[in-house]
Amino acid sequence: MLVDSYKIEEILPCLADPEKIRVIASLSDDASEVMPYINSIIKNAIYIKSANAITIPQGEKLITIHPRKIAITRVDDEKEAKKILDEMLKLINDTYEKRNDIEPNYERREKPKVMDIYKLLPQNNCRKCGELTCLAFAVKITEGKASILRCSKLFQAEFSRKRAQILELLQKAGFEIPSAFR
């Protein structure tokens, strides 16, 4: 067994839908190890290696397993939350038991291609993002290690169309785009 138990820490109103709740539960043990295996068996999961988190969409709900917590959005009530958390605990532990038979997957599914991002960048290697080239920056972006906000050229007015395209591409791939720029 990898994770012994969970404890519901917080029940909050769901910002996306005021009729629903958002639940945060802490985990008694670290679940990081099992994430690449879950990523392998759950086909629509979004695994972000650098953030050490895996999000599993379930209908309109989003369940995110972090190393020491699980967050669930758009839950009806505490009872439903408990049911989901029990399932998740089982998923974590079952997957852990079977890990030797599973090929771990460290990749984000639907990972945007470096070239697709590069094509939309200003491509003048101005280094303002802290990288030597736009290409190097595109790599960091796909790895989730840099925020698109750091390309200051892209946020100039003349690039507004490309900016919108890149933000859309990243958002579709499950990257976190600050809501102010979505």
Partner 1 sequence: MKVTRHIYLDYNATTPLCSEVANVLDRCNRLIFANPSSPYEIAKKTRLEIEKARDQVAKLINCDKNEIYFTSGGTESNNLAIKGYLDYLRNLLYKQSIMARNKRANLHLITSQIEHLSILNVFRYIEKNYKDNYQCMVSYLPVDGSGFVDKGEFRSAIGKDTVLISIMLANNEIGSIQPIEELVKIAKSLNENIIFHCDAVQGLGKMEIDVKKLGVDLLSLSSHKIHGPKGVGALYVRNGVKLFPILHGGHQEKGLRPGTENVCSIIAFGYACEIVRKNLKRNIDIMAKLKEFLKEKLIEELSGMVDLRINSPDKKCLPNTLNVCFNGVDSELLISYLSREGIYVSSGSACTSGLIEPSHVLLAMGIEPELAKNAIRFSLGVENTERDLEEVVKKIKEIIVKNKLN
In this structure, are residues 101 and 87 in contact, taking their beta carbons and an 8 Å threshold? no
Q: By C-beta, is 44 or 124 nearer to ligand SF4?
A: 124
- Restricting to residues 60-99, which ones interact with partner 1 according to CB under 8 A? 62-64, 66-69, 71-73
160 near ligand SF4, rule: CB under 6 A? no
Which residues from 6-65 bind partner 1, rule CB under 8 A? Answer: 9-10, 15-16, 22, 24, 26, 50-53, 55, 62-64
Amino acid at 92: I
Angstrom distance (rounded) from CA 71 to CA 85: 9
Report 27-66 residues binding ligand SF4 (CB under 6 A).
none
Q: How far apart are the first and last CA of the chain?
A: 40
Residue 26: contacted member of ligand SF4, partner 1, none (CB under 5 to 8 Å, by partner type): partner 1
Coil, strand, or helix at residue 111?
coil
Nearer to ligand SF4, 24 or 136 (CB): 136
Report strand pairing: 46-48 vs 21-27: unpaired
Question: What single-letter DSSP state applies at residue 154?
Answer: G
For position 178 contacting partner 1 by CB under 8 A, the verdict is: yes
